Amino acid sequence: MTIKFQKIRKHYDGAAAITDFNLDIQQGELVLLLGPSGSGKSTILKMLNRMVSHDGGHIFFNGQDINSFNVQDLRRRMGYAMQSVGLFPHRTVGHNIATVPRLLGWDAQRVQARVNELLQLLAMDPKQYAGRYPHQLSGGQQQRVGVARAMAADPDVLLMDEPFGALDPVTRAALQLQLKKIHRATGQTILFVTHDIDEALLLATRIVLLNHGRIVQMGTPLELLQQPTNDFVADFLGRADLGLKQLSLRPIAPHIKAIEGTEPIHTISHTVTFKEAISHMATLHVSSLRVVNADGTVLGQVHATDLLETSDV
């Protein structure tokens, strides 16, 4: 499955909104369209499923121009989740999720199985939730159902338009982690739009940073943090926090050393990132920690200066 945006242009009322947008998306990527309000990121997303038309250039889906598809067939192969969710209020959770599979003619058993599978994937007990109505769910639960509904027919690509933007920080964090797990487990291709830099850094395999309808920089999260091409990128990523943000992306595991001298008293799990390790050290007013695995076996130690002075590049 491949998606290709080629020289995409769009204007509104004569003013150019999107200029020369090019992007190739491969199977399994989680590509993030990142940028301030008005940068055109939502518009680009909606061009892919033809909710918005493009004025110039071509968009190819598996090598075929999207305008040559029957628009409804095209949309049924793509999942779409948005901030306001848009669940059908007069249908149960189960029915909502089953919408596209039923449109595609799946038989009832297969539909039922898929609904249950998805609810469980999104940490909701099917027995409890499948029969409920949207107004009986919390905001976070509604969005989970929205994501489940988008994934229901096993789409080639999942389009997500700031889906977690309206949720409180705790729910948002939980759903972000859930999505990351799902992406790792299923290899679902996702095109995700957000203006939240931390969300982008957490989820993306690749970030496309946009401003005023143009691509400013494209790359992995680490690349953007370590080598911002210009001031806009550096500022958008949080200039003062660039270093700390980098730390949150690097796991400590490759940097565990054998214990020399006095063994540090406090421990930390081997799965954490640099950022968590340094944060823990700062809280305890120490500069080294003992690293243990899940059983409690000591694996070695990490030292603050080592963490700060080494790079993964």
Partner 1 sequence: MPFKAPRPWAKRLGFSAAALLLLAYGLPYSQPLFAALFPLLPRPVYLQEPMAELMWQHIGLVLVSSSVAVVIATLAGLATTSKTGSAFKPLMETLAAMGQTFPPVAVLAVAVPAVGFGELPALIALSIFGVLPVLQATLAGLASVPTPVLDSARAMGMSPRHILTEVQIPLALPIWLAGVRTSVVVNIGTAAIASTVGAKTLGLPIIIGLSGFNTAYVLQGAMMVALLAIAADLAFDWLATALHGHTRSADNQA
Q: Where on the chain is the footprint of partner 1 (CB under 8 A)?
A: 49, 51, 71-76, 80, 82, 84-90, 99-100, 103, 133, 135, 146, 149, 159
Give me the least distance between CB of 283 and partner 1, in Å please: 43
Give me the least distance between CB of 2 and partner 1, in Å please: 20
> Which two structure tokens, joined as six digits, stand for 277?
């390790």
Nearer Cβ to partner 1, position 86 or 165?
A: 86
Distance in angstroms (rounded) separating the CA atoms of residues 40 and 282: 41
Nearer Cβ to partner 1, position 149 or 270?
A: 149
Residue 2 has a CB neighbour count (10 Å cut-off) of: 14
Give me the least distance between CB of 106 and partner 1, in Å please: 14
Nearer Cβ to partner 1, position 75 or 250?
A: 75
Within 8 A by CB and 6+ apart from 281, the residues are: 287, 288, 289, 304
Give me the least distance between CB of 86 and partner 1, in Å please: 3
Which residue in 274, 277, 272 sits closest to 288, CA to CA?
277
Edge to edge, what strands does the sheet with 288-292 contain?
A: 267-269, 288-292, 298-303
Give me the least distance between CB of 109 and partner 1, in Å please: 22
Bridge partners of 82, per DSSP, are 161
Nearer Cβ to partner 1, position 86 or 300?
A: 86
Nearer Cβ to partner 1, position 104 or 299?
A: 104
Bridge partners of 154, per DSSP, are none
Distance in angstroms (rounded) separating the CA atoms of residues 192 and 158: 8
Nearer Cβ to partner 1, position 95 or 245?
A: 95
Q: Find how far residue 280's CA is from the centre of its chain.
A: 27
Give me the least distance between CB of 72 and partner 1, in Å please: 4
Give me the least distance between CB of 71 and partner 1, in Å please: 8
Number of Cα atoms under 13 Å in the Cβ half of residue 49: 22
Q: What are phi and psi of 81, to 5 degrees?
A: -125, 135
Q: Which residue has the tokens 């149960």?
A: 92
Nearer Cβ to partner 1, position 79 or 221?
A: 79
